[in-house]
Structures are given as C-alpha cells and as structure tokens.
Amino acid sequence: MGCVASKNAVSVTPAADSSGALRDRGQPRAPVPSGPVPLPVPAAAVSSLRSSSSTARRSEKVKDDAEEQGKAVVAVPAASRSFRLRSLRKSLEGEQVAAGWPPWLSAVAGEAIQGWIPLKADSFEKLEKVGQGTYSSVFRARDLETGKIVALKKVRFDNFEPESVRFMAREIQILRRLDHPNVMKLEGLITSRLSCSLYLVFEYMEHDLAGLCSSPDIKFTEAQLKCYMNQLLSGLEHCHSRRVVHRDIKGANLLVNNEGILKIADFGLANYFDPSKNHPLTSRVVTLWYRPPELLLGSTHYDAAVDLWSIGCVFAEMFRGKPILQGRTEVEQLHKIFKLCGSPADDYWKKSKLPHATIFKPHHPYPSTLRDVFKEVPENALSLLETLLSVEPYKRGTASGALSSEFFRTKPYACEPSSLPKYTPNKEMDAKLREDALRRKASRGHGTEASKKSSRLSRAAREPSAVPKQINNTEVSFSFFYDWMLHQMLSEDRFSPAV
C-alpha cells in the first residue's frame, strides 16, 4: 500500500488507453471525461455492484438505471443469456486489466472504472496530509506533469474482500454521474496492475465549512451566508435531480476553495433513491448530529428529504458557529430534536409506521422552540430554517424550493463567491489542531475567553462519524447502559414506555 508516498520521482510512464494501446511518454494524458459518463456495462456486471452486507455503507439493494436496462433484455433463454453476459464481463475485465487496472478492481468495480485509464502514482508528488476521515486519508499533492495542486484521497479497504471494493466502487460510480460546479468532480484514479491501493484524484480545496464555521475569527455576514447556502442548495439540487441522495451532509464534507466556490464532497455514503420510496435503504447513515428524526426512528423508506434536514443543521450552524444538535446517543439526539423542533403530529406517527415509533413517541407533544432559540435570525432565514428542520420529512420541501424561497429574494442578496474573504487554511483538521494547541496552553494556566470560545466551538470538529467505528465490548456495554438509563428517564418523564 502507499505507493504514492513511496515514489516522489518525476516520471510519467507510458499508460495504456482503454483499448489496450500504450501511450508514449511525451503524449498528453488520456482525457478524463468531463460530462456525465455513459457506462455501457452488462447487467450482470452491474448487479455485482449491488450492496448486500449489513453495514451502513453496504447494506441496501440498489436499483439504478443500468439495472433497469438489464431487465429490458428478456428475449433470450436464461442460460445462454447468463453465459453471454459472463463472457462479456470476462472480456471487459480483460480489456481493463490490459489498460492497467488491477484485476481485483476490474472484477468487482468494472462499471465504475469503465472508459478510464489509471493514472500513475509516480506522476504525483505527495505533500502533506490534509484530512482524515473514517475510511480515508486525504493528501495535498502536486501533479508533476501540469504543476497543478490536487487532493489525493486514499481509500482504505481490504482488496481481498470484494464487498469492501464494491462499496468504494459505488462512490466512484456516483461521482462520475454527477457534473455540477458545486459538486466535487472526480478527476481520475491512481492505481496500477500490481497495486493494492487506490487513490481518488480531486481538485484541491483549501477549506471546509466545519473549519470556517468553528473559527473564532470568522463571522459570516448575511450576504456571505446566502452565498454559501445558494451554492450548497444548487449542488444538492443537481444530486437529487440525478436521484442521488448524499446521506452525509455536514460541514466537514462541504469544501470551499480560495475563489469562494463551495463543493459537496465525500459521496462515500451516497446512494440512488427511488422517489416512490419502494426500495428499502439502511437507516444507519448520516453523522449523528445531522441525522434526521425519521432515520433515528428507523425509517428504511426515505428519500432526498434526509439531506434537507442535514442542510438545515448546517444552515443553523453557520449562524451559531457551532453544531446545534450535539447528541451523544441516538436517543439523546432525538430528544434534542423534539425539544428544538417540536414532536410530530399524531397523524404522522400513525401514518409513517416508523419502526421505533412505539418506543419513542412522547406522551405529550413537544412544541417547537426554534423561533425562541434563534431569535436573532432574520425572519426570512428563520422561515427557511423552520422548513428545512421540519420533523415530518415531506414538509421540508426540495432543494429547488429552498432556492426560490424569500431568503434568497430579499436584500442583502447573496454576494459573489469571488468577493468572499480569502481565509487562512481552515479545515476540520486545522480546527482540531487549533483546539489541541489551545488546550495545551490552557493547561499551563493561560486560558483566555477566546481560547475557551475556540475550544467550545471547535468541538464541532469532533462530531461522531456517520458510521459507527469498531468499538470494544466495554464501550458497547457502556453505550447500551447509557442509552438504557436515558431512555428510562425519558420514559418516566414524557415518553411512552417501550412495548
């Protein structure tokens, strides 16, 4: 693993194009398609990309366009069709391996890499590490051919386990289907026939919204806030129009460059959704503080509205400078939501048939306190916030609806991205480093109000991950015990007893 780290030499070795021909050293790099990429792959190859394990990133059955197309081919006897598809897939794999892809990747992620050639590790100089997620490490790097600074996302997976490669394949496949200025564009993939690692190449972005929001020196004006929200909603409108639900919207996944352009990144949990909600999806997605109530209540038939809830949380965080709903467990998260946004009407509990409704339905309805809590927020912003943070998903509207709301039609209008201030590098990771430095300083007896504020704010950077990491047994039993205790308290107080 780590081939980029180990090779810093300047050398653009010949690469094969998708037809298997070799590219000369001096020739330009094979173009990476810029628009939506047609993916001409047999249904068998596509169905092998479907996820099936019980973990969050792999668990639901995906029914996408390609699968639909596969179903349309019905006039051939089943045995001969499956034989033809097998041999088609074999020849496709052969072509991809000849193009320089490792066989293990081609075998399970054929559709995701179709039509591309791998970029070479030694044509990049790896600089410092700039981000660390649950499943990846991100590095700043220089493309030695063009001099361009890029971000390399090294995806952590066990390539001997096809399931983990399939779930990474979905991230690549989804990224290739999206094409919008406010959505991170996948520029290429680095690997080689003999390599066991994979790097995703992206444009380098200097900041993320979590870092900017939690910085003690940054207070957004209304025009700046509208500018970020406008870009965020435009990117999301595009994803939803392509039937992609992101499922991990939060500040750390919203990247901002020095030109003020915001891009939605990290499609590691994204999936296709079915607007008629007939196909079950896992409810174990979205980072806890940004997770909508229907997922906390166990819904498996949800749609794009889950992203709108998360956007509501980010929107409020931009006003407050810190995450607004910081629950430690799922039960506490739900309780915080009800206290802020009110509990749903009886009708909703009856109709929605949410799996955990009987356990968590309060005895008495909670009124919304949102307008009191956010008194300082201007009326049209508050009204949009109320819509996005509707406990009942269908009341959240759509990204397009939010874009045409009063908030964007009243003065001060959104500023131009290019007029946004040039911030010093500020990422979730920088916020963590800043907080560590302040904590060290405070422990030496030099704590100031500013340091306390920063320390409080940058807890934002420590939000729990969307997917539970592996934890040991002691932690598991403590977490269950804590949840149980809290649940007992809530049941005695206002919640119905469990049945």
User: Closer CB to ligand ADP, residue 199 or residue 360?
Assistant: 199
User: Closer CB to Mg ion, residue 144 or residue 467?
Assistant: 467
Q: Is 185 known to sit in a ligand binding site?
A: no
Q: Please provide residue 412's backbone torsions phi and psi, each rounded to the nearest 5 degrees.
A: -75, 135
Residue 136 interface partner, choices Mg ion, ligand ADP, none, CB cut-off 5-8 Å depending on type: ligand ADP
- Binding site residues, ligand ADP, CB under 6 A: 130-131, 133-136, 138, 151, 153, 202-205, 208, 252-253, 255, 265-266, 268, 427-429
Three-state SS annotation for 447-477: CCHHHHHHHHHHHHHHCCCCCCCCCCHHHHH
For residue 330, CA distances in Å to 212, 380, 470, 484, 491 come to: 27, 31, 17, 11, 15
Per DSSP, the three-state class of 111 is helix
Query: Between β-strands 149-155 and 199-203, what pairing exists: parallel, antiparallel or unpaired?
Result: antiparallel
User: Could you tell me the two tokens for 61?
Assistant: 């059955």
Three-state SS annotation for 224-244: HHHHHHHHHHHHHHHHHHCCE
Residues 6+ apart with CB under 8 A from 203: 150, 151, 184, 185, 187, 257, 263
User: Closer CB to ligand ADP, residue 48 or residue 253?
Assistant: 253
For residue 232, CA distances in Å to 123, 183, 225, 391, 445 come to: 33, 9, 11, 21, 41
Minimum distance from residue 268 beta carbon to Mg ion (Å): 7
Residue 102 interface partner, choices ligand ADP, Mg ion, none, CB cut-off 5-8 Å depending on type: none
Minimum distance from residue 287 beta carbon to Mg ion (Å): 9
Nearest of 139, 180, 187 to residue 262 by alpha carbon: 180
Residue 41 interface partner, choices Mg ion, ligand ADP, none, CB cut-off 5-8 Å depending on type: none
The Cα–Cα gap between 16 and 23 comes to 6
User: Closer CB to ligand ADP, residue 208 or residue 237?
Assistant: 208
- Binding site residues, Mg ion, CB under 5 A: 133, 253, 266
Other beta carbons less than 10 A from residue 359's beta carbon: 19
Minimum distance from residue 276 beta carbon to ligand ADP (Å): 29
Residue 293 interface partner, choices Mg ion, ligand ADP, none, CB cut-off 5-8 Å depending on type: none
Minimum distance from residue 469 beta carbon to ligand ADP (Å): 11
User: Closer CB to ligand ADP, residue 258 or residue 410?
Assistant: 258
User: Closer CB to ligand ADP, residue 307 or residue 332?
Assistant: 307
Per DSSP, the three-state class of 254 is strand
248 in active site: yes
Minimum distance from residue 183 beta carbon to Mg ion (Å): 14
The Cα–Cα gap between 304 and 277 comes to 10
Residues 6+ apart with CB under 8 A from 186: 172, 175, 176, 200, 201, 202
Active-site entry in 64, 143, 208, 248: 248
For ligand ADP, which residue has the nearest CB? 133
Residue 291 interface partner, choices ligand ADP, Mg ion, none, CB cut-off 5-8 Å depending on type: none
The Cα–Cα gap between 199 and 360 comes to 43
Residue 205 interface partner, choices ligand ADP, Mg ion, none, CB cut-off 5-8 Å depending on type: ligand ADP
Minimum distance from residue 253 beta carbon to Mg ion (Å): 5
- Sequence ranges of the binding site for ATP: 153
Which residues are designated catalytic? 248
- Sequence ranges of the binding site: 153
